[in-house]
């Protein structure tokens, strides 16, 4: 059986959404950007974000992962990397 949702649960959810998504009052957003996986500003990157950011192909990403240049971890068949570990490498890949 599920725990009933209380007003405190709802208030907590609203606070979390406001923190990450910005406050909406009168139909206007505060202008804060919602950052999610796939966004270059998100703290975790996957292969697609690296490919788009550096302009490289999937084989280059895989080769650098095998050489431990890109240090990542696998979750459910997808490799993820910490953005702060990858960004210092950008000068070697940007043309």
Is residue 38 domain-resident?
no
Is residue 83 domain-resident?
yes
Is residue 39 domain-resident?
no
Write the pLDDT tens digit of every residue in 15-41: 666 665 555 455 555 556 656 667 778
Q: Are residues 48 and 29 in the same domain?
A: no
Mean pLDDT of 60-78: 91
Q: Are residues 61 and 27 in the same domain?
A: no
Is residue 17 domain-resident?
yes
Specify whether the CB–CB gap between 61 and 30 falls below 8 A: no
Residue 22: domain span: 1-33
E strands in 1-95 = 24-25, 28-29, 44-46, 72-75, 78-82
- Whole-prediction pTM: 0.59
- pLDDT band (50, 70, 90) for residue 60: very high
Q: Are residues 28 and 48 in the same domain?
A: no
Tokens of 16: 């979390």
SS3 content of the chain, % helix, strand, coil (to 5): 45, 15, 40
Q: Are residues 20 and 52 in the same domain?
A: no
Report CA 32 to chain centroid distance, whole Å.
16
CA–CA separation, 82 vs 44, rounded Å?
5
Based on the structure, what is the number of domains in the chain?
2
CA–CA separation, 66 vs 58, rounded Å?
12
């Amino acid at each position: 059986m599920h725990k009933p949702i209380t007003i405190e649960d709802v208030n907590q959810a609203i606070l979390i959404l406001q923190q990450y998504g910005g406050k909406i009052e009168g139909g206007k957003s505060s202008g804060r950007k919602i950052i999610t996986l796939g966004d270059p500003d998100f703290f975790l990157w996957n292969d697609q974000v690296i490919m788009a950011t550096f302009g490289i192909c999937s084989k280059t990403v895989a080769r650098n992962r095998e050489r431990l240049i890109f240090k990542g971890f696998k979750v459910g068949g997808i490799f993820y990397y910490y953005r702060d570990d990858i960004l210092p490498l950008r000068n070697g890949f940007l043309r």
